[in-house]
Amino acid sequence: MRFSVLASGSTGNAIFVESGEHSFLVDAGLSGKQMEGLFQGIERKMSDLTGILVTHEHSDHIKGVGIVARKYKLPIYANEKTWTAMNHLIGEIPTEQKFQFDMETVKTFGNLSIESFGVSHDAAEPMFYVFHEGQKKLVLITDTGYVSDRMKGIISNADSYVFESNHDVQMLRMGKYPWNIKRRILSDVGHVCNEDAAIAMSEVIGNRTKHIYLAHLSLDNNMKDLARMSVGQTLESRGIGLGEQVNLFDTDPRIPTKLMAI
């Protein structure tokens, strides 16, 4: 199984996952032209995709979904409430390209099994995905105000994580956002901060975990160095050695990460 975080942040999100003859795009939160550029960056073609998985209807996750699906005639998978919420936002999609993927269910494509699970975010029915290939496990989890024990049970001991580390609390509190936006981000249906993300990571990391990609960093309320330092310090304070057991990786709003094989 290989994956790349094509883009991550409030300006647009997209993740590529492939296994054997199947490959998926998880969200397409950028324009069609930007999405094509990101695929060129990892030397893959959108025409080869098996389908698009949608996490929720916020624009930074669906901006390019309709455009890409129509151009390449790709199936779109989302749960019922997300379909209802995003139908009028992505343009007309032929019925034969619309598929329902319910929360906390599993769909199998060849050797790849995809498990959906719910997160806590202010969307219709937000959910993320765990990819399984044999004993290999890749977890994608962003856009959640906290990580519950139920989520931790589902995502524990993965080989690789794409994990939200959205903001530094002090930067957010001192920053330019209106208070109602700050309150929303800090709430249980907003986004997790660096420290809370690190604590959750420390509780799900297992003996086979090697890679953690810090994702969905706020452009205004976080920095790559700060996120990496905050998460790293918390993990090391809990006995998890960086560079020995686990490696942290940056993601970027515009530059895809190198394809990682697990």
Beta strands at 136-141 and 160-164: parallel, antiparallel or unpaired: parallel
Structure tokens at 112: 């790849």
In this prediction the pTM is 0.97
**Which pLDDT score, from 0 to 100, does residue 243 have?**
87
**Which pLDDT score, from 0 to 100, does residue 12 have?**
97
Output the CA–CA distances (angstroms, integers) from residue 33 to 37, 77, 90, 176, in the order listed: 6, 22, 16, 31
pLDDT for 218-243, tens place per residue?
999 999 999 999 999 999 999 998 98
Output the CA–CA distances (angstroms, integers) from residue 62 to 3, 14, 15, 26, 88, in the order listed: 19, 9, 12, 10, 11
Query: For the chain, which residues score pLDDT lower than 70?
Result: none
Q: How many residues does the chain have?
A: 262
pLDDT for 55-105, tens place per residue?
999 999 999 999 999 999 999 999 999 999 999 999 999 999 999 999 999
Residue with tokens 């309709």: 66
User: By the 8 A CB rule, do 260 and 18 touch?
Assistant: no
User: By the 8 A CB rule, do 152 and 200 touch?
Assistant: yes
Structure tokens at 67: 């455009």
Helix (H), strand (E) at residue 99: strand 98-100
